[in-house]
């Protein structure tokens, strides 16, 4: 049966926007130089602009569905308290989760800061004076968080067993994925930065071994990140750089464009078809690998949860170690990455169960022994 997706879920791509809106957006976000007047739109990364444009495109779909989209009317005039309230009601009616609704509303707020920067748009989060926050609270997701050492060991296991794969494609991919898992387990770099790594720029070798470096423009929160790769990975990285990666590059398919070949030539992570491994490809690889190893599959962000959860427990004398490893602030760590409280509670719970099981087992043994003694005496 063919699917009939709800047309209200469609988001207009930038080229589908009204011409006047599209032109205003492009002018407000066009890159400038250091002599230009600073503006919000010009300060954002392309990935952030894409996310905002996508969510604003969903807003345009909402307006069009109500017959209210008119490119003769400036976008700022289309954003009213009543429409914002109706928009949130529509999102909830379609079953949008709290996080998706926040992104949808945020898309409007951020887009207005770009398209009409002289106005204060904070009211969007409280249309008609009614705060949206009570309507945007979602239940915190609960999920298992493996220890980084377990993840690191898993990566080493994949590396050690890669040569056992008979098919070259699987052997190369397993080796690459094992190394990726080990590096993510040791520092948990964000997916976008990790997938975009280039050999010689982000991964390079010095007298002490391999080192990773990310400059502010390479990182979401514009922080400088530089650290040594674990010494135990040195021989594995050596082989990946000298043997595995070149072998992956040789698998380039004829359909790959010259631009694709050029990107792969500098990319650290190469896919099985000889092209640069994309963010989506990295996610798929981790999802498939983890699904074979753990009860529930997960992607790259789970590594950040692992570091954020277990680092404070393993080293309580240095409570800021997780924020340093993840290159985030303490507030962000506490809100999104630290599952330590849940982890400790879960560990204590299962320890208590195990203790009770042991006690019950001892009592049972004692009763059985007494019964046997009584039977022997009788």
Q: What b-and-e string marks burial along 196-218, b requiring 16 or more CB atoms within 10 Å of the CB? A: bbbbeebbeeeeeebebebeeeb
Query: Other C-beta atoms within 10 Å of 39: how many?
Result: 14
Query: What is the torsional sign of CA 99, 100, 105, 110?
Result: positive
pLDDT tens profile 16-41:
999 999 999 999 998 866 555 668 88
Strands 209-214 and 203-206: antiparallel
pTM of the model: 0.64
Q: Please, what are the domains in the chain?
A: 7-135 (no CATH), 148-337 (1.10.443)
Q: Of 131, 107, 98, which is closest to residue 25 (Cα–Cα)? A: 107
pLDDT tens profile 315-371:
555 555 445 555 444 444 344 444 444 444 334 433 433 454 455 455 555 555 665
Q: What pLDDT sits at residue 356?
A: 45
Intervals of the chain under pLDDT 70: 1-4, 32-38, 138-143, 221, 310-378
Q: What pLDDT sits at residue 353?
A: 33
Q: What pLDDT sits at residue 136?
A: 78
Residue whose entry in the numeric block shows the structure tokens 């997960």: 298
Cβ–Cβ under 8 Å, residues 120 and 31:
no
204/211 Cα distance (integer angstroms): 6
Q: What pLDDT sits at residue 341?
A: 45
Q: Could you give the count of Cα atoms lying within 13 Å of 313 in the half-sphere of its Cβ?
A: 17
Q: What pLDDT sits at residue 367?
A: 55
Cβ–Cβ under 8 Å, residues 248 and 274:
yes
Cβ–Cβ under 8 Å, residues 148 and 307:
yes
21/14 Cα distance (integer angstroms): 9
């Amino acid at each position: 049966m063919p699917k009939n997706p709800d047309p209200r879920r469609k988001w207009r791509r930038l080229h589908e926007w009204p011409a006047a809106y599209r032109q205003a957006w492009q002018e407000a976000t066009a890159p400038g130089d250091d002599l230009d007047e600073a503006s919000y739109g010009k300060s954002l990364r392309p990935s952030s602009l894409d996310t905002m444009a996508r969510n604003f495109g969903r807003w345009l779909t909402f307006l069009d569905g109500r017959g209210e989209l008119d490119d003769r009317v400036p976008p700022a005039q289309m954003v009213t308290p009543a429409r914002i309230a109706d928009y949130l009601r529509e999102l909830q009616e379609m079953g949008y989760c709290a996080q998706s609704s926040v992104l949808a509303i945020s898309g409007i707020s951020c887009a207005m800061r770009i398209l009409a920067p002289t106005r204060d748009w904070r009211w969007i989060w409280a249309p008609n004076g009614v705060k949206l926050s009570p309507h945007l609270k979602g239940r915190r997701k609960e999920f298992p968080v493996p220890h980084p050492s377990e993840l690191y060991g898993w990566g080493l296991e994949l590396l050690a067993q890669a040569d056992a794969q008979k098919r070259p494609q699987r052997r190369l991919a397993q080796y690459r994925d094992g190394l990726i898992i080990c590096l993510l387990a040791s520092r948990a770099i964000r997916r976008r930065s990790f997938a975009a790594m280039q050999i010689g720029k982000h991964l390079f070798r010095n007298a002490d071994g391999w080192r990773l470096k990310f400059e502010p423009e390479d990182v979401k929160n514009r922080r400088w990140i530089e650290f040594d790769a674990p010494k135990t990975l040195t021989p594995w990285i050596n082989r990946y750089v000298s043997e595995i990666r070149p072998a992956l590059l040789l698998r380039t398919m004829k359909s790959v464009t010259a631009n694709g070949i050029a990107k792969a030539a500098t990319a650290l992570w190469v896919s099985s078809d000889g092209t640069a491994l994309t963010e989506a490809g990295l996610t798929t690889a981790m999802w498939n690998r983890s699904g074979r190893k753990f009860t529930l599959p997960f992607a790259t962000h789970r590594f950040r949860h692992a570091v954020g959860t277990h680092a404070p427990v393993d080293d309580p004398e240095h409570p800021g170690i997780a924020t340093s490893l993840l290159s985030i602030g303490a507030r962000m760590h506490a809100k999104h990455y630290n599952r330590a409280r849940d982890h400790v509670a879960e560990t204590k719970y299962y320890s208590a169960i195990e203790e009770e099981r042991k006690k019950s087992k001892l009592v049972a043994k004692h009763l059985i022994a007494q019964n046997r003694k009584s039977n022997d005496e009788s």
